[in-house]
Amino acid sequence: MINRLAIIGVGLIGGSLALALKGKGAVNEVVGYSRSEDARQQALDLGIIDKAADSLAEAVSGADLVFVAVPMGAMNSVFEGIADYLSPEAIITDGGSAKAQVVAAAKQCLGEKFKQFVPGHPIAGTEKSGPSAAFPTLYEKHRIVLTPVSETDSAATAKVKAMWQLTGADVFEMNVEHHDTVLAATSHLPHVLAFNLVGMLAERNDCDEVLRYAAGGFRDFSRIASSDAVMWRDICLGNQDAILSLLEQYHQGIKQIEEAIRNQDGDYLIDVFSRAKKARDSRFADPNLIDNSEV
Amino acid sequence: MINRLAIIGVGLIGGSLALALKGKGAVNEVVGYSRSEDARQQALDLGIIDKAADSLAEAVSGADLVFVAVPMGAMNSVFEGIADYLSPEAIITDGGSAKAQVVAAAKQCLGEKFKQFVPGHPIAGTEKSGPSAAFPTLYEKHRIVLTPVSETDSAATAKVKAMWQLTGADVFEMNVEHHDTVLAATSHLPHVLAFNLVGMLAERNDCDEVLRYAAGGFRDFSRIASSDAVMWRDICLGNQDAILSLLEQYHQGIKQIEEAIRNQDGDYLIDVFSRAKKARDSRFADPNLIDNSEV
C-alpha cells in the first residue's frame, strides 16, 4: 500500500500509473507535478491526481513513492529539484525509455538516496501524450523492465516491482546496457525509421496527394511517427550509442537490398524477406493481434 | 453484368474480387486458374470460384472479363499463355502493384488485344495470402487505381471501373509513372524498410529475446514484414527505378538524423519529428483508425 504517491509528469505514462493504482485502491493520495499549469489542472480535473503541487519540492515532500515520468531530457533537472526534499525512506523510480543516461543523472543528483532509486521502463504507450491520453489499463499485460544497479537496495526494487504488478503488468529485470540495446532495436530504431520516412514524404509538394493513396500498411508502419517529438528527441540523444550502432547495421542491410534490386537478384530478396516474415510471424502468431490491416 | 469472369490467381486479391462480385450477384460464373492444384481446389471448396480450369487457355475461353491477379513476376507468362485464347470482345485487367512493367508485358504479349487491357491496382490487401485469406469486403472503401494508356479503349476502362465500383471501392485514374512513384513512396519503400529491420533482428542470436520486448509500436511497424516474399520480390524488381531513387533519398534523411544524434543536435531532430507527426496526423486524423497500439 502506498500512502502518498508523487507523480512527476502527469501525462500518458505517469497519469496511467496513477489511474491504475487508484483503481486498485493501492494508494491513499496522489500528488502530481508538471511544469505546465494546464497539464496539472487537467490531471486534477480528470481525477488522475488528488492534489496538484506547485513545485517539485512540494510534490515529493512526504511521499513514500516518487514516479518520475518526464521526457528523458528533463530527468536531470527533476532529480536535482527533488533530491533535497525526499523523505529518508522515499523510493524513487522512473519511466525513461533508455536507462544508462537516467541512471547516470540519478547517481549524480540523488547522493546517498541513489540506492533507493529503481530505474524502470514500462514498455507501453500509445502515440498520444498528455493527461487526457492516460487510461488505467495501459499497463495490463505489458512488460515493465527494471534495471537495478549494484547500489540499488533490493527492498526498493521489490517494492517497485510489487507496485507495477498491481497494474496487471509483467515485471522483468535486466541490466542497463542490455536494456538499452534491446530497446534501441525494437523501439528506438523503428521510430527513427518511421519519422524519417514520413518526414521525407512531408517535404514533397504532392505530399497530400501521395498520402491519399497510402493504405493500411502505411498507416500501421507510420503510426509511431505520430509520437511526441520532444520525447523522441530525448530518447535519440539519450541512447545515442546503441541507436547509432544499429543504424549503421541497418544501413548495411539496406545497401545489400539496393544492390539486389539493381542487379535483379531475386534470390537475395526472397531470402531476406522470408527470414523477416518467419521471425515476425513467430513473434506475433496470434492472428487476432495482427489482423488490423484495413485502412 | 459479367457473364463469365476468369480469375487468374485465386489468392487474396483475385479471390476477394470474385467473392465481392458474387455477393452482389454481378457475375454468372467464375472460372479460376492457379498454377497450384491445391489453391484451385481450395478456391473451389471455399466457393470463390465455380469452376477450376486446368490451364490458362481453358480459364479464359469464353470469358468476357479476365482478372490477372498473380505476383508481378508471373504476369508476362500469364499474358503469353492467354493471348491466343481470349474472346475477341474480352476485357483484361490486372492487380499488379507497379504498372510500368505490367503494361510493357501486356503490350508485348497481347497484340491487338492490348487495347482491351486496362491496367489496374487495387490498393488493398493484408499481410495474408492464398485463397483462404480472401474475403468479400476487402475492397470496400478502398482505392482502386486504373492506369489506362493512350491505346486503351475507353469503353473497356469504363467497364472495369464499373466492376470495381460494385465491390464498394473508390476508383481513380492516374498515369503509369505517377502511380509507380506514389506507390513506391507509400507502400514499396515501407515494405523494404520493414523487411530489412526484421531481417536484421532475425540474424541476432538473441532474436527471440529481443522480440519478446517488442511492443505495439514494433508490432504495427513490422506488420508488413509478414507479407508474401515472392510478391514483394517481384514488386521490388518490377518497380526498380522508383524504389531505388526513393531509397537514395531516404538514406540522405537518415544520414542527417545520424549526424544530429552524433552532434546532440536536438533542434534538428525536433524539426524532422514534428513535421513527420504533423503530416501523419493530418492524413490519419480519425482517432478510431489509429488507436490500435496495444501489444
**Mind giving me the DSSP string for A6-27?**
EEES-SHHHHHHHHHHHHTT-E
What is the pLDDT averaged over residues B187-211? 94
Give the model's pLDDT for residue A209. Answer: 87
CA B117: distance to chain centroid?
A: 18
pLDDT at B139 over 60: yes
> Cα–Cα distance between B140 and B166 in angstroms, integer?
9
B216 in reach of chain A (CB within 8 A): yes
Residue type, B85: Y
ipTM greater than 0.85, yes or no?
yes
Largest distance between two CA atoms of chain B: 67
> Cα–Cα distance between B281 and B269 in angstroms, integer?
18
Give the model's pLDDT for residue B285. Answer: 67
Give the model's pLDDT for residue A288. Answer: 41
CATH of domain B2-174: 3.40.50.720
When comparing pLDDT for B201 and B290, which is higher? B201
| Nearest to B56, CA basis, from B9, B92, B110 | B9
What percent of chain B is modeled with pLDDT above 70? 96
Give the model's pLDDT for residue A285. Answer: 67
Q: What is the mean pLDDT of chain B?
A: 94
What percent of chain B is modeled with pLDDT above 90? 88
Q: Which residues of chain A make contact with B125, given a CB cutoff of 8 A?
A: 215-217, 293
pLDDT at B215 over 90: no
Q: Which residues of chain A make contact with B239, given a CB cutoff of 8 A?
A: none
Q: Which of B173, B182, B221 to mutate to test the interface with A (most CBs of A within 10 A)?
A: B221
Q: Are A215 and B124 in contact (CB under 8 A)?
A: yes
Q: Measured between CB atoms, which of A194, A210, A292 is closest to B182? A: A210
CATH of domain A178-283: 1.10.3660.10
Q: Which residues of chain A make contact with B281, given a CB cutoff of 8 A?
A: 226
Residues of chain A with pLDDT under 50: 287-295
> Is there a contact between A269 and B237 if contact means CB atoms under 8 Å apart?
yes
Q: Are A43 and A81 in contact (CB under 8 A)?
A: no
Q: Which CATH superfamily is domain B178-285 in?
A: 6-phosphogluconate dehydrogenase C-terminal like domain (1.10.3660.10)
Give the model's pLDDT for residue A164. Answer: 98
Q: In this structure, is the dihedral angle defined by the CA atoms of residues A237, A243, A247 and A250, taken in order, positive or negative?
A: negative
What is the pLDDT averaged over residues B19-40? 97
In chain A, residues under CATH classification 1.10.3660.10 are: 178-283
In chain A, residues under CATH classification 3.40.50.720 are: 2-174
Distance from CA of B89 to the nearest CA of A (A): 32
Instruction: Encode burial over A190-213: b for 16+ CB neighbours within 10 A, e otherwise.
Output: bbbbbbbbbbbbbebeebeebbeb
pLDDT digits (tens, 9 = 90+) for B164-179: 999 999 999 999 999 9
